[in-house]
Amino acid sequence: MTFEIIIALLAATVQSGTPILYATLGEIFTEKSGVLNLGVEGAMIIGALTAFIVARFTGNPVLGFLAAGLAGSLATAIHGVVCLGFQGNQVVSGLALTILGVGLANYIGTGYVGMSAPGFQPLAIPGLADIPVMGPIFFQHDPLVYVSYLIAPLLWLFFARTRFGLGLRAAGEYPAAAIAAGLNVAAYRWLGIMVGGFFMGLGGAYLSLAYTHLWTTNLTAGRGWIAVALVIFAFWRPGRAVFGAYLFGGIMALQLRLQASGTQLPSSILLMLPYVLTVLVLVLSSWRKGTSEQPGALGVNIEPVD
């Protein structure tokens, strides 16, 4: 019985970590271009609400999922206009995007609180789902989880093996050299902002269409901030982001199960666990000097070239 509980907890870990994984990979994509976006939480919750509304009125969760990605891109485009168009402070702009996104989504979503929408259901992969231990943990989830399995390796290939990926990294590492080589740094940074926002919106869509199937106020509950911290923990590497997202997903799944089991620990203490871990991760990451792969020009605005 204990073994079955552990397997169920690990399966819940994958599910809980998936929205964080989408958002973390989106932020890695954006920061690789040299743009710091602290508006992940805002982009996620706008994506979550968009996915919910579109799925509810069309009855098509796939359409809602894609609409959430588009909404996330449009939300982060505001950040792009401020930072790339007007050379604004990237930290302040990102914080403003979070405040705007959370406030706007909660205001528009007030009338939908407690309502449900058609979403994604578990779909076991034939053959793989029957593998002992690994099958129940990884291959008995909804399709959005399986999509997330592909994104990290595809991003690694994009950054390491494609011309556009190398150009994006150059824009974030040494933009002056990139400009001298004839690259359009502003275009690459726009690409980083828009594609990163698309993934953030997908992370929000997972919460409303697969994780809960309903809308509640403050649905993202700080997951966007966890994603920002995980980028540092992962040292801007997509592969490490997977491990970090599942680590936080495991803590979230554990605290929910402890509450359900009737533990004597106060619920407020249990709800703190993921965020306490966030602080610990940042502290531990700061000790490992010399191993970071932070883009050299991260957060530095580039003056437009005439």
For the chain, the domains span: 2-114+125-287
- Report residue 91's pLDDT band, with 50, 70 and 90 as the boundaries: very high
Q: What is the mean pLDDT of residues 89-93?
A: 96
- Tell me the pLDDT band of 56, cut-offs 50, 70 and 90: very high
What 243-247 contacts at long range (C-beta under 8 Å, 24+ apart), as own/partner pairs, is 244/24, 244/281, 245/17, 245/18, 245/20, 245/21, 245/24, 246/13, 246/14, 246/17, 246/21, 247/17, 247/277
**CATH class of domain segment(s) 2-114+125-287:** mainly alpha
Q: What is the pLDDT of residues 161-171, one digit of tens each?
A: 999 999 999 99
- The pLDDT assigned to 267 comes to 67
Given a cut of 90, is residue 220 above it in pLDDT?
Answer: yes
Q: What is the mean pLDDT of the chain?
A: 91
Average pLDDT value for residue range 74-97: 96
pLDDT at residue 223 greater than cutoff 50? yes
**Mean pLDDT confidence for 113-128:** 93
pTM for the predicted model, two decimal places: 0.93
- What percent of the chain stands above pLDDT 70? 95
